Amino acid sequence: MRPTDSSLTTTPFAWKVPFVLDPKHGQAEQGTLACVTDPDVYRTESGLILRVVHADDGGLKVEQLKEGAWIAARIGMAGLRLSPSTRKLTERQVKALPD
């Protein structure tokens, strides 16, 4: 089933992606919309909490939680998510964080 505009959610982190993978062939189809509802949130070994948001155009936006608010972070910090000591937060942990 392909998502339609009416099936897209309107959560604060919902946006459209310009393609969706064709499950039969594993290839992207141009012009089809999919909805990404949640950003990826990580905690580093030192306790830094990062949110990596995938933009409409395929780019990345990185934010860090500082004093209870999400602030823009350097794009290079996206690499911290690949560190073996960095953990991706569960859905429950993410929901406990401020919006």
How many Cβ atoms sit within 10 Å of the Cβ of residue 51?
Answer: 20
pLDDT band at 80 (very low <50, low <70, confident <90, very high): very high
Task: Render pLDDT for 26-73 as a digit per residue (tens, 0 to 9).
Answer: 554 554 444 444 689 999 999 999 999 887 778 888 999 999 999 999
pLDDT band at 85 (very low <50, low <70, confident <90, very high): very high
- Six-digit token string for 24: 């039969």
- Please state, in angstroms and rounded to a whole number, the distance separating the CA atoms of residues 81 and 86: 6
| CA distances from residue 75 to 12, 60, 61, 78, 83 in whole angstroms, order as listed | 21, 7, 7, 6, 15
